Structure 1
Amino acid sequence: MTAATAPVARRVEHVMGLPIGLALRGRHAAGPAADAAWAAVLASLREADRVFSTYRADSVVRRIDRGELGLDDAPAEVHEVLAIAARAARTTDGAFSVWRDGRLDPSGVVKGWAVQRASALLRDLPDTDVCLSAGGDLVAWSDTVPWHVGIEDPRDPTRLVATVPVTDGAVASSGTAHRGAHLVDARTGAAPTGIAGVTVLAGSLTDADVDATAAYALGRDALSWLRRRVGRTGLVVWADGTAAPFGEALGRSPA
């Protein structure tokens, strides 16, 4: 059996309000080691949800909003996420922000950060290709054949606008196709105009997720901003349906 035809074992669980999927291919695609690693991944993501959820009344984030916990007393992971958000805010001149109407909403950072952190728990599976996804974003690596990742058309999610091979890295997309108009330019409080979706490939899902969200918030300035981001590649789809790649060329999906 070749790597290209090796069976893929898949697991799915709902955590952080998202479908979390794990695909494994190779020596530990199934068995006790894979089961233990998957359990550890889920435990890590549930802990992130306990700290950062904006829907749980008992989360650290909601306790900060209610004034029950000061930022100085928040756990280290909160400060790590806020530092990532602060860098994104600086590079976008404030278009990206985790503060809205005086409340903390770190959703634009947490998903990618939490999944990237949890993926480290899968690195100890030898001779095994890994793809860990969360709501469509993913981090993956392979010592055999690449994982082929489809990029949805943000105007019609039943279509793919491109496919990309991933051997060690992450892919994240930002837009309103699945969740409606929930993204805004923090400088104006209004939804960005002229843009339908952004997909970013980077070395980590933390970077890919933040940059995709930040670029979308910049609207018509997304492409010029992304072209200045080192080590990034991907695709911007404008509101009129035209697509603009940046970085290395993307593989086109079959017609």
Structure 2
Amino acid sequence: MTRTLSRRRFIRISAAAAGFSIASLDRPALAGAATVTWRGTMLGAIATMEIHHEDRGEAERLVSAACMEARRLERLFSLYIKDSALVELNRTGILADPAPEMVDLLSISQRYSELTGGSFDITVQPLWDLYARHFSREDADPTGPPPAAIEAALTLVGYRRLSVNRDRIVMPHGMALTLNGIAQGYVTDKVVDLLRSHGVVHSLVDMGETRAIGSRSDGTPWQVGIADPKVTGRTETILPIVDRAVSTSGTYGFQFDAAGRFNHLFNPSTGGCASRYCSVTTVSRTATAADALSTAFSLMQDQRIRLLLPNLDIERVHLIDALGTASDLIA
């Protein structure tokens, strides 16, 4: 099998083409302020935190606490930790006495499914499994899985068949969930909540999705660079961000085949893959909304996105179509 894997979400901070770190690009901090930067991985994505605090020791303690919280949530939402709550739910079809965060995230997911008419749907994991099995074979048909196999997988897709309440989460046998289109944003928001509760007013958090707390320490906006999907290493545009979150979904983020015809952004209605845009970037007050809706918008015509914006917590949508032409929709 040939796969091209960069990141599910391909956002780089500041001058992404040069590969600089956040710290090396930041302007000098305010007098007496310390800057602590952490880098690692979370939910399968590159993760970073940059915290400005007048007490370096306190900043380091906050980074440690934020990482512990993120890891705790990762053990709920990850598909890759064998004993995670999500893996147990997918294996058994039931999760008794679920963690409040699991109930919260699944409830939010269902709300976005309703708001987007099903374009966002966390029950598409059977499609992922089908495409992964198909393209793992050496003799895989380059035109994709057989239509009958796609139809069979679609019988296991449907967010309305997922029952979520505080006591238990239940779904029919054979269904499976993926939270890859929303969990990174949710974890980012939870880390932001923790840092704010301890008085942090200048920070940039990226647990797979990016969210700014306030501005930079010198009062200027954070600079979030959006990758050019057509030219590796080039930044297509830079967004100035203050107290906002940014998420990008791109068809180039994960591709099952060398030709790039089949990717991780599945259409829950047809079983096919997104092809209308190379990338969709959303700006929102929360990383959860930005994450989920960049995924959903990848399947929609721009006219439909524009009609939905007044009902969603999205302020700006930056689209790069299949030809590489960029456009912006403003709420």
Give the aligned partner of residue 181 of structure 2: 108
Cα distance change, pair 71–169 in 1 and its aligned pair in 2 (3 A): same
Displacement of 1:223? 3.9
Displacement of 1:59? 0.8
Q: Is the 8 A contact 2:282 2:314 kept in 1?
A: no
Give the aligned partner of residue 65 of structure 1: 90
1:146-157 correspondence runs (5 A): 146-157=221-232
Q: Is the 8 A contact 1:173 1:209 kept in 2?
A: yes
Task: State the alpha-carbon separation in 2 of the partners of residues 220 and 234 from structure 1.
Answer: 9
Is 1:242 aligned to 2:325, yes or no?
A: yes
Task: State the alpha-carbon separation in 2 of the partners of residues 77 and 142 from structure 1.
Answer: 25
Is 1:142 aligned to 2:142, yes or no?
A: no
Q: Scaled by the length of structure 1, what TM-score is found?
A: 0.85
Letter in 1 for 2:210: L
Q: Tell which deviates more after alignment, 53-62 or 152-161.
A: 152-161
Is 1:202 aligned to 2:277, yes or no?
A: no
Could you report, residue by residue, the CA deviation over 1:43-63 in whole angstroms, capped at 9, with x for unpaired residues?
A: 111111111111122111111
1:121-136 correspondence runs (5 A): 121-124=194-197, 126=199, 128-135=201-208
Letter in 1 for 2:111: R
1:20 to 23, 38, 47: 47
Displacement of 1:18? 2.1
Q: CA RMSD in A?
A: 2.3
Displacement of 1:161? 1.9
1:88 to 100, 112, 115: 112
Could you report, residue by residue, the CA deviation over 1:205-249 in whole angstroms, capped at 9, with x for unpaired residues?
A: 11111111111133666643554435421301110111110117x
Give the aligned partner of residue 122 of structure 2: 98
1:35 to 40, 53, 60: 60
Letter in 2 for 1:83: S
Could you report, residue by residue, the CA deviation over 1:83-121 in whole angstroms, capped at 9, with x for unpaired residues?
A: 111112112221211112311112211110011111112
Cα distance change, pair 221–94 in 1 and its aligned pair in 2 (3 A): farther
Give the aligned partner of residue 235 of structure 2: 160
Displacement of 1:25? 3.5
Task: State the alpha-carbon separation in 1 of the partners of residues 228 and 189 from structure 2.
Answer: 25
Q: Is the 8 A contact 1:201 1:233 kept in 2?
A: yes
Give the aligned partner of residue 169 of structure 2: none
Q: Tell which deviates more after alignment, 113-122 or 225-234.
A: 225-234
1:233 to 296, 316, 320: 316
Q: Is the 8 A contact 1:21 1:134 kept in 2?
A: yes
Give the aligned partner of residue 298 of structure 2: 216
Q: Is the 8 A contact 2:211 2:245 kept in 1?
A: yes
Displacement of 1:157? 4.2
Letter in 2 for 1:114: V
Give the aligned partner of residue 76 of structure 1: 100
Cα distance change, pair 157–219 in 1 and its aligned pair in 2 (3 A): farther
Cα distance change, pair 59–225 in 1 and its aligned pair in 2 (3 A): farther
Task: State the alpha-carbon separation in 1 of the partners of residues 281 and 271 from structure 2.
Answer: 22
Letter in 2 for 1:117: K
Displacement of 1:27? 2.4
Identity of aligned residues (%): 25
Displacement of 1:131? 0.3
Per the alignment, in what secondary structure is the counterpart of residue 234 of structure 2?
strand
Task: State the alpha-carbon separation in 1 of the partners of residues 65 and 47 from structure 2.
Answer: 13
Task: State the alpha-carbon separation in 1 of the partners of residues 314 and 303 from structure 2.
Answer: 19
Task: State the alpha-carbon separation in 2 of the partners of residues 121 and 208 from structure 1.
Answer: 19
Q: Tell which deviates more after alignment, 19-28 or 177-186.
A: 19-28
Q: Which has the larger radius of gyration?
A: 2
Task: State the alpha-carbon separation in 1 of the partners of residues 280 and 304 from structure 2.
Answer: 8
Per the alignment, in what secondary structure is the counterpart of residue 107 of structure 1?
coil
Aligned length: 242
Per the alignment, in what secondary structure is the counterpart of residue 254 of structure 2?
coil
1:5 to 11, 17, 28: 28
Could you report, residue by residue, the CA deviation over 1:13-47 in whole angstroms, capped at 9, with x for unpaired residues?
A: 2232222111233524xx21111111111111111
Q: Is the 8 A contact 2:205 2:211 kept in 1?
A: yes
Q: Is the 8 A contact 1:141 1:166 kept in 2?
A: no
Is 1:186 aligned to 2:268, yes or no?
A: yes
